[in-house]
Structure 1
Amino acid sequence: MRNYHRAPNTFVGEVNINVLNLDSALEFYQKVIGFQVLEQTSRKVILTADGKTGLLTLEQPADVLPKEQGKSGLFHFALLLPTRADLADFFRHLDKTGYQFGASDHLVSEALYITDPDGNGIEVYIDRPPAEWTWSNDEVKMVSDPINVESLLTVSGAEWDGLPADTIMGHIHLHVSDLQKAEEFYSKGLGFTVVSHYPQAIFTSTGGYHHHIALNTWQGVGAPTPKKNSVGLNWYTLVFPNEEARAKVIEQLKNLGVSVVSENEFFVTEDPSGNKIQLIV
């Protein structure tokens, strides 16, 4: 199952978001979501599941603004748990906290949805075995049906004790202003394949995954880019299998007229809606 998030595929590695109050956000992400602190300063915290790898970074800009509505940016980031028992344990934990959450069966996956105190969307999910996914004309079938809670809770699990060490960043779902421009950027530029269409949304991946990056215009066609200091997405990383794969993508982006800037050991670009991406190996 984890082969979709390792070489030779390209996948999302880490997400960085702004929050209104770092202390309050940290309490939520530790007690409700189950992260550990990897590194911390007065205005930034890097969070981890395994004690070694940063998955989510929280930042509090000095002049931070609340989340802006009707803008492009983060719809949700998605944490992929190792097993269905882990999802059942997390469900029970959320139920005990009393924190409001939703749940969906997407056929390819089972997912729980929760929003942090600042309005940042979070999905926590498990994949069904790929042999159970249904493909037709190179597209995978996905729906948003109610989850079978009774079935989920029959899974024998353990007392919830935070995110399992093998938790990874499974995918990211973004609001964009123009779906056609976004599709050109993510397919012809970044090299992702469109694997599913949904009303006003597309799902893209590498290596035959159901999706590493989803894109929608649910905030409205032409949705403007939010201010840099507002709550929401700062950037996310795309992890390439090697230098050659990254160099190929950089050339493709430049051929589309997209700016790619070198910063330290990685390169930075933005999609047409202003979503910032770090290209790393």
Structure 2
Amino acid sequence: MRYHEKPNMYVKHVEIKVADLDRSIKYYTEIIGFQILQQTADRVVFTTDGQSSILSIVQPEGAYQSPQKTTGLYHFAILLPSRKDLANIIRHLQQRGIYFGASDHDVSEALYLRDPDNNGIEIYADRIPEEWTWTGDQVYMKTEPLDFKDLMQNAQGEWNGLPAKTVMGHIHLHVANLEKAKEFYTALGYRVVLRYGGKALFISTGDYHHHIGLNTWNGEDAPQPASNQVGLQSFTVQLDESDETIMKRLAFIGAPVEQIENGFITVDPSGNRIIVEK
């Protein structure tokens, strides 16, 4: 988990918009395995350790799901501490009759789900970094079938929800233009560690396989979603660099910057809202 602590600039929290708060509470507690940390009439903050949060949901007025392909959330990715935890949640999902996809990415083993509002979710466990393959400054990743027979040998004990040490592993975004996204996120402090198929790239700090994924799979120049459309509300990045240095770089490329008490808020060229906190 060293890639999700300082000095790395990791994604530490994601907030998504949903159309029915009660329906989503049931899904994220009973199926995914979060606990409720705080709740108001239109917002719920989830926890795995009873103290901190990596995910929250909000129900905007008139929230709706649109069939239109837009920029925004492709998926957020929950990183489990071990293969045992991944095997245990697979057994839990199977017992609940929940459909999910699965892939071996070489650097990790992953499950893919959709919440009731079609928000994408990845749940994964990393392989040890010594098993990752790097060619220069580029990491190797693949998408192949998951070896369930081998993985499920690690299952043990009863499912008791997400482990306390679960973190937000990464976020993957739909963007309208890959080169503009690259310019913005490199100004924010990330570097490209993989270009994938000409329409996606993966970026990180500290030589992680990726803290953020970016793609144009919803189309070049895809429109931004409406403010009350379900999907991404914002994501929060941990900052360990001088915020003045980053803000100057963002200002130089014309990105908006709004200072807040513990950092600043910015928006990428595709309308994805980012809270940068010290």
One-letter amino acid matched to 1:195: V
1:88-237 to 2 correspondences below 5 Å: 88-187=87-186, 189-199=187-197, 200-237=199-236
Count of residues in correspondence between the two structures: 277
Q: C-alpha distance in 1, partners of 2:226/2:185?
A: 23
The aligned counterpart of 1:239 is 238
Q: C-alpha distance in 2, partners of 1:233/1:68?
A: 15
The aligned counterpart of 1:21 is 20
TM-score by length of 2: 0.98
One-letter amino acid matched to 2:127: R
Tell whether the 8 Å contact from 2:243 to 2:263 is kept in structure 1 after alignment.
no
One-letter amino acid matched to 2:93: L
Tell whether the 8 Å contact from 1:105 to 1:143 is kept in structure 2 after alignment.
yes
TM-superposed CA distance for 1:177, in Å, is: 0.3
RMSD between aligned alpha carbons?
A: 1.0
The aligned counterpart of 1:58 is 57
One-letter amino acid matched to 2:267: E
Q: SS where residue 113 of structure 1 aligns?
A: strand
TM-superposed CA distance for 1:157, in Å, is: 1.9
Could you tell me which of 242, 262, 265 is aligned with 1:265? 262
Q: C-alpha distance in 2, partners of 1:33/1:78?
A: 12
% identical equivalent positions: 49
Could you tell me which of 269, 275, 278 is aligned with 2:275? 278
Tell whether the 8 Å contact from 2:112 to 2:120 is kept in structure 1 after alignment.
yes
Q: C-alpha distance in 2, partners of 1:160/1:64?
A: 33
| CA deviations over 1:231-262 (Å, ceiling 9, x no partner) | 00010001012xx5322211110111111012
TM-superposed CA distance for 1:31, in Å, is: 0.4
Q: C-alpha distance in 2, partners of 1:117/1:57?
A: 15
Tell whether the 8 Å contact from 1:204 to 1:212 is kept in structure 2 after alignment.
yes
Q: 1:253 to 1:68 in 2, by over 3 A?
A: farther
TM-superposed CA distance for 1:165, in Å, is: 0.2
TM-superposed CA distance for 1:156, in Å, is: 4.1
The aligned counterpart of 2:68 is 69
One-letter amino acid matched to 2:7: P
TM-superposed CA distance for 1:197, in Å, is: 1.1
